[in-house]
Amino acid sequence: MTSSDRRPGAGRHRSPSAAHRVRAVLPRVSLPAVVLATVLSTGACGTLQGSGRADGERTTAAADRGPVGRTAPPAPSATPTAPEPAPAGLPGLGPATSARVPADARQVVVVTGQGRNSARSHVVLYRRTGSGWQGGAAWSAHNALKGWTDDHHLNDLRSPIGVFTLSDAGGLLPGPGSKLPYTHSGGFSVGGTGFEGEPLAGSFDYVIAIDYNHVKGTSPLDWGRPLGADKGGGIWLHVDHGGPTHACVSLPEAHLKELLRTLDPAQHPVVVMGDAASLAE
């Protein structure tokens, strides 16, 4: 499942038209009744009025429940760090892709798809050190049902290829020690089944927003779409449910929690994602 390209609908993902959805959580602010009514009627959360669902995962909405809150990470250290020499290139990335990785990025999540039209991929977390990039183990993962695209659109069932920052996180469960700002909310509830009949419950227990068409510094549930609604959005790293997603990348819960505990805003983390051939360019 993914939290990207979502529209109203429920039930089983037996075809790209089936749907599952997540309900939005309105911020806990005191608004006059007239203002609140205006927010809901104008679709403040995007295409789905009053919903915080991301646009690639159609899910069965569940009633909002649990505490809502956004936890800020610890303040970064003010201690200056000595400049580091430019490290050798990241494994599997060609010159064009490598050039898109920001110079200040010291944590890079590389998602490598098995093929342009494959829903299977693997994930490696790299850390920049004085001697170069050091990578961890490769984790199995899923991406979109139809594979990858360098021109993602709403409901095309493909994950976007590119290099994107990682700025915000959240989930149905309390944060497991996340260094990224974390939104704990019942709005991450999800039900229904995926493309292969697998249950989707728990898929959004933990998520990390991929900053593709996402307003950095906002909850993953935020419906802001800087590139416009047609370009999709709400694309996340989230808990794997055992099948293809709509546009997100999903990986086992233990590894997602490890990312949440490791990714540090002070290290300027990014994700590099796409099929192997595209990343090698």
Write out pLDDT tens, residues 10-23: 333 333 333 333 33
- Which residues make beta-bridge pairs with 239? 251
Which residue do the tokens 């899923």 mark?
A: 142
For residues 266 and 71, the model is more confident at: 266
Q: Is residue 142 part of a domain?
A: yes
**Is 208 inside a domain boundary?**
yes
Number of domains comprising the chain: 1
Task: Evaluate if pTM is beyond 0.85.
Answer: no
Give Cβ neighbours of residue 271 (< 8 Å, ≥ 6 apart): 108, 109, 110, 111, 163, 164, 166, 210, 237, 249
- Across all residues in the chain, what is the average pLDDT? 80
Q: Three-state secondary structure along 208-273? A: EEECCCCCCCCCCCCCCCCCCHHHCCCCEEEECCCCCECCCEEECHHHHHHHHHHCCHHHCCEEEE
In a domain, 78, yes or no: no
- What is the C-alpha radius of gyration for the chain, rounded to an integer number of angstroms? 18
Say whether 99 sits in a helix, a strand or coil: helix
Structure tokens at 240: 């794997």
Q: Is residue 19 one of the residues assigned to a domain?
A: no
Beta-carbon count within 10 A of 240 CB: 23
Q: Which of 211, 217, 220, 206 is nearest to 175 (CA)?
A: 206
In a domain, 17, yes or no: no
Residue 162 domain boundaries: 33-73+91-279
Residue 165 forms part of a structural domain: yes
* pLDDT of amino acid 17: 35
Instruction: List pLDDT tens digits, range 224-235.
Output: 999 999 999 999
Residue 5 clears pLDDT 60, i.e. is over it: no
